[in-house]
Chain A
Amino acid sequence: MTDYFLCKPGDIPEGEGRAFQAGERVVAVFHANGRFHAMANKCLHRGASMCDGAIADGGSTIRCPWHNWTFDLETGRNVIDPREALRKFQVRVEDGQVILSA
């Protein structure tokens, strides 16, 4: 596991997401209700970029921009079929920096 510096917290506005290349991985990072969440960027359905999706359900889910597959930001699980899950990664704010462990 490697810790990556992503950005400053203000670089990802509340209610939005961004994608980062962290080593070999592309990780989507979302800022919802003052917290950051990180998960694999590629939707399990048809491969859309989740970072282009819409945060919904009061900031608890992210919806795929192509076909609305909706994933829980805390668990990465699809809200309709929890057997489908995007890989989650740890992300934290430390000394004014957003840090990803991946």
Chain B
Amino acid sequence: MNESAHSGFESARAVTPDPINPKIRTMEVVDTDFHFSPPWPVIRSYLKEPFKSRIWHYPAVGLEYNPEPANERPGVGQDTHGTAGTGAEVLRILDQFGTDIVILNPGYNRPMSIFSEPVLAAFCEAYNDYLVKEVFPVSPRIRANMMVCQRNPELAAREIRRVGHHRQFVGVFTEFSALYEQLGNARFDPIYDAMRDFDLVLTAHSGGWFNHFSPLFNGARTWIELFGNAPIANAIVHLAAMIVQGLFDKYPKQKILFQEGGVWWLSDFMLRIDDFYVSAPGDIALTERKLAAGERYLNKLPSEYILENVRFSTQPITIPKNPKHFGWMLELCHAKDLFCFSTDWPHQTMDPANWVVEHPGQIDEAMQKAILGGNARKLYARL
């Protein structure tokens, strides 16, 4: 296109704007939630026998619901913004969004829907081995949460101990929803034992398990219900169990990162759980861990465990129009200490980092650095 003055008019220049705020590219950005989807033939090539000879297709999951009917982008499924299945593809996206370090989560988002635990465990091994052999060597900027068979804690612990020595694994991927047993239940202690030995963070990511019946899910009709709002309630349920069933008293150094469960409910939750605890703590002594320890109460107030052990990834952040309200919400939810930036690329609600630096009246320089990378560095011992 003509860039020179033309017929007496000022000339305008055709441009390809960078939608990422230039300040983002001057700061350290750690993306704590990026979904990685190696092609199925690649995963299959890493399957061990006898699974490789018997499993030809990625095991189908039931009642999968993706955002296509909601976002009217047919054919892209969950990967609204693209698909990355190799280390090189990951680096290309990181550069596009101004990200320095990424923590990959499995793009095969519904692994727990595989009905067979041995098949699921083999699938997890293949995924983790592919990361170790072909993805981690591409760049130290690429880290990952390992995939485990969450609903069988012994199989999950076996996998953590098998690959936990690879330092680019920084955590363990799990899902929460109304269909999962609370991750704070003592049944999962084999997982927490293994993570303690390797200093790994538990990522609790909103998920499904769609081939199991749930009145809550079966009564839903829209993506807004299933993915927009149900995770908020589910995150609260899982977090409460972690605290009052004594997870952090038994594993005081265990760190948890909740993902896609919302953040702004924290201010009410911390007050409410403390109030209920002080008023009616009697049955805490009857939980498995407290029975085993012979303890009657928690060691701290419930909200204190959140400040010490739990963090929250930000995507999809919601921002009120009134800046004063935004500032209050950030303060009430301890954003400077608890929030860890995430994009959730490539899913529908993918959240670039612009918002962190575009509200300087509410998010000052120090908080920007903390949210974008500093809090993740404190959270992950291996980062």
Contact = CB atoms under 8 A, between A and B. Distances in A.
Interface of A: 2-8, 11, 18-23, 26-27, 41-42, 46-49, 51-52, 66-68, 95, 97, 99-100
Interface of B: 1-2, 5-7, 9-17, 19, 21, 71-73, 81, 348-352, 354-355, 358
A18 B351 contact: no
Interface of A is mostly: strand
Interface-central residue, B1, B16, B351, by most chain A CB under 10 Å: B1
13 contacts: A2-B10, A5-B10, A6-B1, A7-B1, A21-B13, A21-B15, A26-B15, A27-B12, A48-B19, A52-B19, A66-B81, A66-B350, A100-B12
A95 to B, nearest CB: 7
B15 A20 contact: yes
Interface of B is mostly: loop
B17 A41 contact: yes
B355 A7 contact: no
B10 A47 contact: no
Contacts of A49: 17, 19
A99 B348 contact: no
Given A7-B14, A99-B9, 11 more contacts: A2-B10, A6-B1, A21-B13, A21-B14, A22-B12, A23-B12, A42-B17, A49-B19, A66-B352, A67-B348, A97-B6
B72 A23 contact: no
B12 A20 contact: yes
Interface-central residue, A5, A8, A11, A49, by most chain B CB under 10 Å: A5
